[in-house]
């Protein structure tokens, strides 16, 4: 991956196993042992907490039995020394510690007790009695649903208004996949330690991590050198140069021709949005091939586009020959007309962005081709892979990779923390807004990607840049209010983004 990872460690995403196996080697290379690393972790979390909640705030620190709990005991000890009012609640309170101490977590717990700190049972914690709660119950090693007392504790924590700071990962969340198999803490702040775990940024995880802060504990640079990341966050600044400045002598013929294929009766709006998006993306010419019954509606919506009513597939062939890129699926439907149109398009060698009913028809008629750019949401991905939506949600990374393997395509798995598996590697886009939860957003994205393809952007680049700019446009449109934002509200922002305005480093 060369174009989207950038040089920042915060853009590198790792599997939990990589961090667990690699942190000791990185620490040793930095002249630190694991006891010192745990101490650094506790200090980092405490300093983050301190920046939000000054002393003498009331702090509840909830500790488990592993290293995550050890971090919590260090936080408690530092906070007490700094003048905070601290109470520790333990999963197994007041247990006898072994002699000699078997782990760094035991040592941290003993140091808390030596300082006069006490431990109360986890379920004695009433979050509303505190100004902030530190969640140090379970760390990244948890890969199953919580059971017993922790479930009741999570329900109590999530039902309160007390802010929660989670250590490394909110308890109950799978940090490798982003899956939430049962009860999980909804943190206001998650302090991720050593390196970013990929699961914190996708799927339901975004409802649980809150604000995400990375603390590399002084070993991040070394860890990056020793461990190869295979997923990356897309940096907005990196994709900005992928559309070259236009020549003063250019003309529409040099800026590509997008053909939007879809629009059965009753679904003309999808074609219109894709058509408008392709135009605002900068395509020189945009045509739409739709059902004859909606031709007049589509043509009236955008005078700059050329609109053709397609009754027989023979009349589609010359349009396909002229196209630089095809957007297949917006409002296409799945009836006999739709199936004939789909088959005709799939026989051509032109680059094709496939969405909506185009994906549903592809699921029934699988084709493997590098000329495809697939943009499914989880439900469509489930149909393409003959899986359930729950199975997709349980490991979005695996699902995106399987789509790439099965169809040989550039793949975008949409949703919070969108995942892309392309010729340029595997990356994640953690941008966007709840304002985008309205109809037509996918049609807009399809047209945008096709518009970038038409301007000779490489397929992987078009998918990555289009997805990112679509997400940022959604954020900008959502600033006027998350409720009531329409897909068409994104169009002015798309125009700005493809022209280099309003970009940031994300």
Binding site feature residues for K(+):
68, 135, 171
User: What would the DSSP string read from start to end of 190-246?
Assistant: EEEESSEEGGGGSGGGGGTS-EEEEE-TT-HHHHHHHS--SEEEPPHHHHGGGSPPP
Using only C-alpha atoms, what is the Rg of the chain? 26
Alpha carbon 51 to chain centroid, angstroms:
27
Element spanning 153, H or E: helix 149-158
How many other β-carbons are positioned within 10 Å of the β-carbon of residue 408?
A: 14
Q: Is 351 exposed, middle or buried (0-12, 13-18, 19+ CB in 10 A)?
A: buried
Residue pair 172/139 in contact by the 8 Å Cβ criterion: no
Query: Residue 387: which residues within 8 A CB-CB, separation 6 or more?
Result: 381, 399
Q: Residue 385 in 3-state DSSP?
A: helix
| Residues annotated within a binding site | 67-71, 135, 139-145, 168, 171, 270, 331, 377, 414-418, 442-443
| Residues annotated within a binding site for (6S)-NADPHX | 67-71, 139-145, 168, 270, 331, 377, 443
What's the Cα-to-Cα distance from 243 to each of 4, 281, 452, 453, 457, rounded to whole Å?
A: 15, 10, 8, 10, 7
Q: Among candidates 461, 366, 373, which has minimal Cα distance to 413?
A: 373
Q: Residue 349 in 3-state DSSP?
A: coil
Alpha carbon 15 to chain centroid, angstroms:
15
Q: Among candidates 308, 314, 311, which has minimal Cα distance to 296?
A: 308
């Amino acid at each position: 991956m060369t174009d989207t990872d950038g040089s920042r460690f915060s853009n590198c995403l790792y599997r939990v196993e990589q961090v667990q196996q690699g942190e000791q080697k990185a620490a040793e290379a930095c002249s630190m042992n694991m006891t010192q690393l745990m101490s650094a972790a506790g200090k980092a979390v405490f300093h983050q907490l301190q920046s939000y909640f000054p002393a003498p705030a009331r702090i509840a620190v909830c500790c488990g039995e592993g290293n995550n709990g050890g971090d919590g005991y260090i936080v408690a000890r530092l906070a007490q020394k700094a003048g905070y009012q601290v109470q520790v609640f333990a999963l197994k309170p007041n247990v006898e510690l072994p002699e000699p101490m078997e782990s760094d977590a035991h040592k941290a717990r003993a140091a808390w007790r030596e300082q006069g700190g006490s431990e109360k049972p986890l379920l004695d914690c009433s979050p509303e009695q505190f100004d902030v709660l530190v969640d140090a119950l379970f760390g990244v090693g948890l890969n199953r649903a919580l059971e017993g007392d922790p479930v009741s504790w999570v329900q109590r924590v999530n039902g309160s208004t007390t802010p929660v700071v989670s250590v490394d990962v909110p308890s109950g969340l799978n940090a490798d996949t982003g899956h939430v198999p049962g009860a999980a803490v909804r943190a206001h702040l998650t302090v991720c330690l050593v390196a970013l775990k990929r699961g914190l940024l996708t799927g339901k995880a975004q409802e649980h991590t809150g604000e995400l802060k990375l603390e590399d504990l002084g070993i991040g640079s070394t860890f990056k050198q020793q461990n190869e990341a295979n997923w990356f966050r897309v940096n907005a600044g990196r994709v900005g140069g992928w559309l070259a400045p236009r020549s003063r002598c250019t003309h529409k013929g040099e800026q590509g021709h997008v053909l939007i294929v879809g629009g059965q009766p009753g679904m003309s709006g999808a074609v219109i949005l894709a058509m408008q998006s392709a135009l605002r993306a900068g395509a020189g010419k945009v045509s739409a091939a739709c059902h004859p019954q909606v031709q007049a509606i589509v043509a009236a919506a955008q005078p700059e586009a050329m609109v053709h009513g397609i009754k027989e597939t023979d009349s589609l062939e010359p349009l396909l020959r002229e196209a630089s890129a095809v957007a297949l699926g917006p409002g296409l439907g799945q009836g006999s007309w739709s199936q004939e149109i789909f088959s005709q398009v799939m026989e051509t060698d032109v680059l094709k962005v496939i969405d909506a009913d185009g994906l549903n028809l592809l699921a029934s008629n699988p084709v493997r081709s590098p000329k495809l750019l697939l943009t499914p949401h989880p439900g469509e991905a489930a149909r393409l892979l003959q899986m359930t939506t729950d199975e997709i949600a349980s490991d979005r990374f695996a699902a995106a990779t399987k789509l790439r393997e099965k169809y040989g395509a550039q793949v975008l798995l949409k949703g919070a923390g969108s995942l892309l598996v392309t010729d340029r590697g595997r990356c994640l886009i953690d941008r966007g807004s709840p304002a985008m939860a309205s109809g037509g957003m996918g049609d807009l994205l399809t047209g945008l990607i096709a518009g970038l393809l038409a301007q000779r952007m490489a397929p992987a680049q078009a998918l990555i840049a289009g997805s990112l700019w679509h997400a940022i446009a959604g954020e900008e449109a959502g600033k006027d209010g998350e409720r009531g934002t329409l897909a068409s509200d994104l169009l002015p922002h798309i125009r700005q983004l493809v022209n280099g305005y309003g970009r940031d480093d994300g």
